[in-house]
Amino acid sequence: MSNLIPISIEPDVLTDFVEEFDQIYQEIEHRTIMLEDEPYNINLLIEIKTYFSDLWYQSNKLDMIALSESLHETIKCFNILLEWQVYPNGMSQFILLLIDCIMTLIRDIQHQAVINIQKTQNILMALQYIILVENIDKIESGVTKAIKSITQEMNEFLIDHIF
């Protein structure tokens, strides 16, 4: 069974989506860096979640189900952090790695017209380390595990594209 799902989106619609993603990517990156200096600024976390929500909405509209699922779980992760009003150590690193993984998925869609299900599943698995944390005392451990998982995904991506 192939891990690749073909995507059929009109080229101009896809170009618009990729351009919007590039803008959102920059905004998420900027706000994540700002959070490093202001880790208690929950408004920045809300803004980042809103950008992920925008991506989720667009991916749903374009019927990119696998990507939508990853983005939906990302939003769930942010909801937990917002509910607990916490921004754990390492979260900035995780957000930046996560958005990079999502970028690789979108680049695959753009250049190959496919979504790699294995990559989306790996993202979902990394997010579960945060989503399934039972209490606030274990959130940093969950983030650390999520970072390790998403770093492995990015390393596999680099190996696939170098060789």
User: Cβ contacts of residue 11 below 8 Å, gap of 6+?
Assistant: none
Higher pLDDT residue, 59 or 154?
Answer: 59
**Cβ-contact 48, 28 below 8 angstroms:** yes
The sign of the CA dihedral 33, 161, 101, 138 is negative
pLDDT at 154: 77
Residue 83 CB-density burial (10 A; 0-12 exposed, 13-18 middle, 19+ buried):
exposed
pLDDT, tens only, 114-154: 998 988 999 999 999 999 998 889 999 999 999 999 998 77
With a cut of 70, say whether residue 33 has pLDDT above it.
Answer: yes
pLDDT, tens only, 66-94: 999 999 999 999 999 999 988 898 999 99
Write down the pTM of the prediction.
Answer: 0.91
